[in-house]
Amino acid sequence: MANEAHPCPCDIGHRIEYGGLGHEVQVEHIKAYLTKSPVDAGKAVVVIQDIFGWQLPNTRYMADMIAGNGYTTIVPDFFVGQEPWHPSGDWSTFPEWLKTRNARKIDKEFDAVLKYLKQQCQAKRIGVVGFCWGGIAVHHLMLKYPELRAGVSVYGIIKDAEDVYGLKNPTLFIFAENDAVIPLEQVSLLTQKLKEHCKVEYQIKTFSGQTHGFVHRKREDCSPEDKPYIDEARRNLLEWLNKK
């Protein structure tokens, strides 16, 4: 998923240098990064981290990009103080690490964030966007929270479960053709099952030639042939939020 030692690891991931336009806040027992929209339109988006945590500059960059399009955005620490995964970590220990960070067991934290957005930010229309681990979380939340107006799950897929197709509101799924983490067979199964069971609007887009993390972990100036796909995926993400 990432190898920061490589000078230009476009096929895997890249930590961008980015300071952020927002600031950190405390939401009950959770820390979060908050960016207010320049236009207060009563709209908010919860942006959910990947395995590298809520402080990853890439994720904050995406939150600020969404905020610039008319949304108050918040990136909560859904690991609740536990250490994020480090790019130099021993991948053989990853399954154990992941057991204590279940993307489908964040309801308590999400409830706190929803309350904060409604009471402190006067949000009336709320959407959710997540990357990798956060994409799984988005899929889970779109099954449980009818009040979420729209969801965008970016390279996150729930495996080995039968109860994951009854989406409550419109959801966009973004995948990469050459994703070593999510084989195309899993995307095909999701497509088939949603067609059979889903009652709301959804879309599944798979970007040719792209790898896991391309939407937020690839630097646009690193590999020029990837830039149109990165731009298109980000545009699709914003369009999905904007029409709901």
Catalytic-role residue among 14, 139, 140, 212:
212
pTM above 0.85, yes or no: yes
Task: Output the domain CATH number for residue 235.
Answer: 3.40.50.1820
Place of tokens 């990064």: 33
Long-range contacts of 58-61 (CB under 8 A, 24+ apart): 58/14, 58/15, 58/16, 58/18, 58/216, 58/217, 59/131, 59/216, 60/18, 60/20, 60/22, 60/33, 61/16, 61/18, 61/20, 61/216
13 lies in a domain?
no
Catalytic residue list contains 107: no
In the set 121, 132, 140, 216, the catalytic residue is 132
pLDDT over threshold 70, residue 2? no
Domain count, the chain: 1
Residue 198's domain spans which residues? 23-242
Decide if 132 is catalytic: yes
Position 13 scores a pLDDT of 67
Judge whether 169 lies within some domain.
Answer: yes
Distance CA 86, CA 220 (A): 23
Q: Over the stretch 178-229, which tens digit does the pLDDT of each residue have?
A: 998 999 999 999 999 999 999 999 999 999 999 999 999 876 656 788 889 9
State the catalytic residue, choosing from 11, 64, 77, 179.
179
What does the pLDDT look like over 38-75, one tens digit per residue?
A: 887 899 999 999 999 999 999 999 999 999 999 999 99
Place of tokens 């590298």: 52
Give the model's pLDDT for residue 222: 64
**Residue 222 designated active-site:** no
List of residues 6+ apart from 18 with CB closer than 8 A: 57, 58, 60, 61
Could you read off the pLDDT of 82-108 as tens digits, one per residue? 999 998 889 999 999 999 999 999 999
Mean pLDDT of the chain: 91
